[in-house]
Each structure stands twice: as C-alpha cells, then as structure tokens.
Structure 1
Amino acid sequence: MTRPDPRQTAAMSAALSGAVDLSALKARAEAANRAPAPAPGGAAQAAPAQGDGSFVIHVTEEMFQAEVIERSTQVPVIVDLWAEWCEPCKQLSPVLERLAQAANGAWILAKVDVDASPRIAQAFGVQSIPTVVAIAGGQPVEAFAGVQPEPQIKQWLASLLDALRDRLPGIREAEAGAVETEPEPEVEDPRFVAAETAFENGAFEEAATAYQKILDAEPANEQARAALAQVKFLARAEAADPSVVVRADTSPEDIDAQLAAADVELAGQLVEKAFERLLGAIRRTSGADRDRVRTHLVDLFGLFSADDPSVAKARRDLASALY
C-alpha cells in the first residue's frame, strides 16, 4: 500500500480545524428555501441531488445545508472541490466516485464545481484544486489537496471511518447493509498493482521501474508521478546512514553528505531543517554542485502539495539564493 503523507493531511486538517465558518452557506441555503419557486420558464432549478449514483451528489450553494451539513450528522460527507478545466480533478474525481459507490453509503461524495459555487470554495479557504474535505457533524474534520494514489485515499477514508464510527450512526448501518449484498469486484489497474506489490516488499528499484513505465505510456498520469517520487525518496532515505547528518554538519563542503542528510531529516519530519540545509548548500556553491543541490531540493518539493507553506517559503528562499 502506498504510504500516506501525514504532513500534508495534518497541515490541511489543522488549518481547517475550528477555522471554517459554514454559517454563511447555511444562511444562504435557508434564504433560498424560503424564496418562492420560480415560475415555469423562469430561472433554472438547482441541480438534482443525485448525480452519478445514489452515493454521489452534485451540490450547489443552495443545497449545501441539506445535502452536506445535515447529511453529515449521519455519515461523513466527502466534499470534492473541482472544476471542468482542472486536469488533475479529472483523474481524482473518478476514483472518489468509484470508492463512494463501493462504500454503500458509509460516506457520501458531494461534488462541488468551484466555478458554479465559488462561495463554498471560499468558505473552506481553498487555494488550489482538487481539494477534498471531510465533513462530520456539520464541521470539517480532515482534508487533503492534489491528486493522491488510490491506496492512499483508501487508507485516509478507512482511518476517517474508524474515528467516526461511534459518533455517526449511519456508518455502521451502511456497513451492515453492505455485508448482505455481494459487492462487485473492484477492477484494479494491474500496472499499479505490480508497482505497489514491489513497493510493499521493499523492492524500491522494481517499483520505480514499474511506475516509470506507466509514465512513459501516460506522461500526464499524476498518480504514477507522485508514487514514483515517493518511491525514489524512500529508497534514498532508507539507504542513508543516520550518522550522515553529523558528517554533513562538520563538512559543509561535502555535497553528497548534504543531500543524504536532507533526506534523513525530511524522513524524520524535520522538513524546514532539510530545506534550509540544501538552501545553505546552494548559497555556498556554484556551477555543477549548485545545480545538483538545486535539483535535489526541487525533487523534495514534489513530495508535497503545491500550496504547502513550507514549500512556498523554501521556493522564495531558493529564488533569492539563485538570483
């Protein structure tokens, strides 16, 4: 199974916790419900609640209170913020829709077109799409941004259901109903299955080769690209000797030590320290050595979502160091 990125999930969840005010959306929805219905031939009605299946709904601002807030008192509602022009959204949304149907109502997928319903995106403080937010009991509880590998999404959802199962009665009811019916077997991409199996067995080189083949055939496949970056990083980090940090601290001119030490620090959740180490090396070097360190730092940026605050700061510092 592809390992989740706890830094990204924790950062987004912390940003959402207690900071999202959905009252404005609630007020707009209640006002819309009190308004008289338009005459035939007048303004268009809101999009129907049921979209791509019984557990996938298309939500507008007027429907948000009933279809998201109220539903979330029974089961989690996973809000998928997307747009028609967003290519990564077109990769993530089908995965979420398939998983929602397979969950048999243990959670509901609410799809929000941010162009049609910009106030919903504003309420969540969304800076990039796709962004996925889990709502429970009327409040956001977890979130992630960007395209994620399917195994990582499954793990995220499983952890969410485990945490909420005793609080939201609809989860157990839906799971009990799923036992009575024979679920359709999930069709998995054999290329990803082979890559993930190699990864689970610690065969990083084999996994990297498998993901690279997918990218060679599908250069726009962000799931394979993200997984390949994770595999390469974990292979380096696990192969590095933890004592290399001391060697790097005492030998700032040793480029190999600086790169390996940054990997060790990043794997140990010392994100800013790893970035600053490489930025310092860039300031001290020139020519091929500087290019090598810069490339390594940019590769590490790719392990995070584009709007991660640590990455944003490091990118600004990188620009200052280079120019």
Structure 2
Amino acid sequence: MIDVTLENFETEVVNASLSVPVLVDFWAPWCGPCRALGPILEKLETEYAGRFKLVKINSDEEQELAGMFGIRSIPTCVLLKDGQPVDGFMGALPEGQVRAFLDKHVPPADEAPAPAEVQEASAQDALAAGDVAAALEKLQHAVTTDPANDEARFDYVKLLLQLGRVAEAQAAFAPVQAKAAVDRRLGALKAWLDAIEFVAAQGLGPDADAQFAAKIAANKRDFETRFARARWLMAQQRWTEAMDELLEILMRDKHWNDDAARKTYVAILELIEPPKPKVAEGQIPPEDPVVASYRRRLSSVVLS
C-alpha cells in the first residue's frame, strides 16, 4: 500500500497501471467507514500477491486529485488500467463484494506476473517519470524477492553503473557472473564492468584522450590503443564515440583479437537499448533511432 500525492501520482498510479491494475482508495482520517474498508483492501492486496496495486489518497490533503476523479463521498475506490479509470465503488463494502469487484478486472493467479516482475515494470515506469530513487528501490526489491530474475538484475546493475555506484553494481552482478558467457545481456554488463576495471587499473584519467590520439595518429592500425580508447569511452558512458572507435577497428580487421571489437560493439548496443514502449497487441514497438543506426553501420562493415 502506497500513499499517493500530486507529486507521485503520475508514477505510482498512471504509469503503474500500464503494467498492473491499480486500485485507488480515497479516504480521510476522520472517516469511520474508511477505517473499516482499509484493512480489507490491505488484506486483499497481500492475498492477491501482486495481481493489483493498492494506493491510498487522503482526500482532505489532496483535494486536487479528489476533484480530478469527481469524489463526492468517501470511501470511494477507483480502479485504473492502462492509465484510465475503468470501474469503481463507493462505501465500505464487505470483503466478499470487494473480492468480486476485483475478480472482474484482476487477472487470475496463473496469468498474473510474479511480484518481482511487477516491481520491475513499476521501476521502468518510475524511470520514465524521472524518479531514479524510486526505480532503484523497486529494482533492488525485485532482485531480493526473486534472485533468479535476471531481467530485473540486469536493470538493477545497469542503473547502479549509470549512477556511478560501481562497488554496489559489482556486488549485485557477482551472483550471475558465471552466466555472462552464455547470456547476451549479462555479457554486456560484464563488458561494461571490465571496461571500468581496465580504466581504473591503467590509471586512465580525463586527459587520456590526447595520449590515445597521438598514438593512433602515428599508426592507424594500432588496434590495442583504439580498443583501449573504446573501453575508456565506455567507462564514461560515451557510447556512440566508443562504437565509432570500434568501427575503425572493424573496417580494418573484422576479426581482430578473436572478434573483440565486434563483441564489445554488440555489448554496447545491448546496454543502450531502451525498454520497449507498450503497444497494442499485434503491433511492433518502434526501434530506437540511435540503436537502429548503429546496428546498420555494424552490418554494413561486417558484411562488406
């Protein structure tokens, strides 16, 4: 159960309802029927185990939100799906009637996403809304709840690295490090972590680019230096510049160092791929233009 205000309404209600039904309970501390209904709703939220999300809005303190939903009496509950209100009820209904109401809209247990998956989807909504702290908390909860959820772990480690929290990212990645050789996304994270460790071990600072440029100018086929520069750029999250440097290697030697340049390039594409937006059933989500452009550039070089 989450207390919602105008500030977090978009993230916790509208965006969250794109992934799971959200039941909004409008209440007030002085309302006796509200105090009777509240424990029933909280019990059912626990029992339904992530199949719907319960949020509470204090209608006295959040009058703008209450007005937005046309609330005239409390308690009033409104159910949202895909960002829109779809149903609701007024008054302190008994548990059986509330359960019947939920069962009209909430997917059966065998069709509902696992709680960790709900947390992961909610984290992506929080990120889209710019609430990084909430996203990090939800991803951490998802990984803790289901340590085998590699999708949530990928997003969690990636966000930690984006925030520069390398030690935490290394600790979170350690349980799945052995799978990096066979899992494309985990392998991409390992390539990023390896680049960060390489830069630290080599003591490469902000002025390293001048050193790289001088060496490359003296020898265009100095692939070791080009690859080091690409990893230095990766560590700084300068993704397109890193891929440009890797393409310079690939245009001269497609299979240099056991395909190291191509493999690292592919890892970067995996790291910069944004979450797919939700689209109607049967539609194909649009591809990110930067990712699409660099995929085409890789294909044109490798296949030429």
- Under a length normalisation based on structure 1, what TM-score does the superposition of the two structures give? 0.40
Which structure: larger Rg?
A: 2
User: Relative CO higher for 1 or 2, CA cutoff 8 Å, sep ≥ 6?
Assistant: 1
TM-score of the two chains, using structure 2 as the length reference: 0.42
